[in-house]
């Protein structure tokens, strides 16, 4: 791998962490969404990363976590609250040897939380409203992790640019 190849690897990680941060932001924004278009509470989403060197591991993890093939993964563009996600968010990173790509976004199968709110128009006959099982604390930790990883990869790109610049100065 050459010096510019290392920038490509860091670039693929930057793209993947951006997707992760957007999914976490969507989870946080929908933490109180008791009814989506299909009439059920919002369900938390998780991003699945895969190394571009061994995508079979990512596919194996997907089938373990979802109980189905990768074809059952939620398309990223269809997630509620997503602004800029596209289904090809990691596609151009897929050709980067040693890089990382987003394999997909899976839906958490946790049961919704029930809150007694008889005055709520969405309450069932017993007065309970179903809300997504989303912990703001967990989402903040995930967002901090994504932010930190993004920052570290941005620093790696800056260091790589410095090395290229220094090598050009040596050639003078």
What's the CA gap between 57 and 61, in Å, rounded?
Answer: 6
pLDDT tens, position by position, 85-141: 433 444 444 457 778 888 899 999 899 999 999 999 999 999 999 999 999 999 999
More confident: 137 or 69? 137
How many domains are contained in the chain? 1
C-alpha distance from residue 19 to each of 40, 50, 98, 143 (Å) = 24, 13, 19, 11
b/e per residue 94-115 (b: at least 16 CB within 10 A): bebeebbbbbbbbbeeeebeee
- The SS3 call for residue 143 is helix
Cα 43 from chain centre: 14
Please state whether the predicted TM-score (pTM) of the whole model is above 0.85: no
State which residues form the domain around 89. 3-171
Pairing type for strands 45-51 and 100-107 reads: antiparallel
Token pair belonging to 81 = 């609250």
163, pLDDT greater than 80: yes
């Amino acid at each position: 791998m050459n010096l510019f190849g290392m920038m490509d690897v860091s670039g693929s990680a930057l793209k993947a962490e951006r997707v992760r941060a957007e999914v976490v932001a969507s989870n946080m924004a929908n933490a109180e969404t008791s009814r989506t278009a299909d009439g059920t509470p919002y369900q938390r989403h998780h991003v699945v990363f895969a190394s571009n060197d061994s995508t079979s591991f990512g596919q194996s993890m997907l089938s373990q976590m979802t109980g189905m093939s990768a074809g059952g993964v939620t398309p990223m563009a269809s997630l509620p609250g997503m602004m800029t996600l596209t289904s090809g968010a990691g596609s151009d990173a897929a050709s980067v040897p040693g890089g990382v790509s987003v394999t997909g976004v899976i839906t958490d199968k946790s049961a919704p939380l029930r809150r007694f709110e008889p005055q709520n128009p969405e309450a069932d006959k017993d007065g309970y409203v179903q809300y997504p099982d989303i912990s703001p604390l967990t989402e903040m930790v995930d967002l901090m992790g994504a932010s930190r990883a993004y920052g570290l990869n941005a620093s790696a790109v800056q260091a790589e640019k410095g090395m290229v610049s220094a090598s050009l100065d040596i050639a003078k």
